[in-house]
Structure 1
Amino acid sequence: MKILLVGEYSRLHNSLKEGLEKLGHDVTLVGKQDGFKKYPVDIKVQSVLPREGLTNKIIQATYKISKVNIYALENALMWYLQLRKLKGFDVVQIYNESIAKTHTNLEIKLFNVLKKNNKSIFLLSCGIDYISVNYAFTKKFRYSILTPFLKNTKLKNEFRFILNKLKPNSKRLSDYITNNVNGIIASDMDYHLPLKNHTKYLGLAPNPINTDLIQYQPLDVNKKIIIFHGINSSAYVKKGNIYFDKALKIIEKKYPNKVEIIITRDLPYSNYIQHYKNCHILLDQVYAYDQGYNALEAMARGKVVFTGAETEWLEHYDLTEDEIAINALPNENSIAKKLEWLIQNPEKILEISSAARRFIEKEHDYILASEKYINMWTKVL
């Protein structure tokens, strides 16, 4: 098949592309190189207007006075300039309801052109969208990325982007896209649960991890235990990084001679990987039921990852024996207690490291995951 993957924010679509190509399909990836992460794409849709300096100040002032969002208009233009290349595909999969990050009417027009010029179009639910945000806002999760805001509405400014997804235009866009795609696929439990009763929902296809590229790295626990905390500043509050920071202060004070702590901020993807390659334990995120892409890649390398590993995830994968990832709860004492257990029982680090790799190979191998996507697409077609 000829397949177009639209959007890339976590390397998910890159790994899916690699798996699909291994299976003999012709795959093109189009999108922005997201912020500091800079994941590769085949067709780059790149902004040219600066996001800082005098030009940025003028654009921001224009928006305050006229409510005309020049950046949103530019986003739409950059996508429309690429449309002649985005036709003739058997399957188009969009990464988000908002393809171009522009005005609702322009988003709908862009979606309609993609739908008209290709045989089918699917939505991958793997990020912030109306359905998952509304599910979190109405407190259907025990905790979620919205928990800090729901506890303290003074954080409204930090959650502005997420809360915008609840506005009428975002709901209108969501309703239009979800009603007009051929089907919706979720990448993990945090998106699967909100979609369970949706008429277009096809099911969960696990995040594909390229286990050929990512090598397992056996750990040595005879020296200091290295704990890595890589921070994305823009998601610090939403991912619960504050609990990791507080827990690390407890551990650093209690075990100064037994641990080495590495903390980084906003590293490009390739640098980020280099910084955590020698760690034993990686602190990923708190407010999640399942592992995101970053956690899964670390688990494939054999790291002990503190992330989402809730009951719903255990039940979905029928996990009852091996400890595969550490469920990080929004409580620094709970996190510190689990870190302390690992420091005092380094053999557990080795056991979890090995079990994490086996889990990735069984459930997230990029070729097996790609086959699940193909099965979902072709079942509808």
Structure 2
Amino acid sequence: MSEQELVDVVVIGGGPAGATAATDLAQRGRSVVLLDRGGRIKPCGGAIPPKAMEEFAIPDEQLVAHIRSARMVAPSNRYVDMPINGGYVGMVDRAPFDEWLRERAATAGAQRVMGYFEQLTRDANGVALIHYRATPNDRHAPLQTIRARAVIGADGAKSSVAKQCIPAAKALPHVAAYHEIIRTPALPFRDFDPERCDVYYQGELSPDFYAWIFPHGDTISVGVGTERKDFSLRTAVKQLRMKTGLDQCETLRCEGAPIPLYPLPKWDNGRDVVLAGDAAGVVAPASGEGIYYALTGGRLAADAVEEFLTTGKSKALTQARKRFMRAHGRVFWILGIMQRFWYKNDTRRERFVSICADPDVQELTWEAYMHKRLVRAKPAAHVRIFLKDMAHLLGMVSPWKK
């Protein structure tokens, strides 16, 4: 690519958000460069709800497992099984899944470039110049440049694009996540179920988030997250594996990454840059779910950039965040309250898990998760849940009392 060539869009970051944005814009006939550093696998549970597969045309072949229930484990080790009646949650392996998304973008017409983003500057006419190197932190490697009318920053929770271009991004708090990918044992194995996700709400495993065991077909993700910097994630995972017998399984790889805690208040620079995915902070509180929201954020960023390129009005870039929050802001707000209250200590975690045994809670939880909307059609169920929650909040009932 000539440094004098001007492209419509450079998308920095090739995860679900960036690859989706690149695909959508390329399909509209825009000249798109997808700049991705490659070789990195995002630590992730890998859950994809049916809504994501439907909206983003993800074929079933991309799934490595079909999850048909979740087990919520309390501090006391009592647990609640939450079956998905008549449905399933798909699981992906992020390494092949993300590459499939990038290849789809290339098939649509996006140009893939391997490189590490360094900085964004401007030429004499104010056009964005994206500087990158083929290898990271190597000052001897030649600095290469792409000129672009618009830029989408989809380069993760500690986005360099965001830090350089969006002032509010510098203070975005994160949860640290760590998981170990292990080989699935021969079945049957103790209490392990290849079609069940296990979620541990125990302070010894995570003081403010949760730990998990997520099946991925031939492999399993065993992980934990926390905002506390003084907490040992590796020790917690080791403890969970010993508790469940999964310490006997071969460890294939270990990965860690930050997870943003809430969406940034501003996603664009008011000129020609907009954020998407983890860079914009779109990971659901309480659950840590990010793939669906990354896919959605990438599409909305692409829509906003298309409008900007068509009209020349930079205000169009604000629509990415406005449309996302209009669709999902209330869910994020509710989940944020849940995380701050119920994850605070083991007494509350015990009550939280016990509430999950309620049939109304299970039904509405799965409905909201699978279809990505708040369920309004069953007011009686909402009233029953509200009354039961208030009884627990006020200490009027003991945990596990129906």
- TM-score (normalizing by structure 1): 0.34
Decide which structure has greater strand share: 2
Higher relative contact order (CA 8 A, sep 6+): 2
Decide which structure has greater helix share: 1
- TM-score (normalizing by structure 2): 0.32
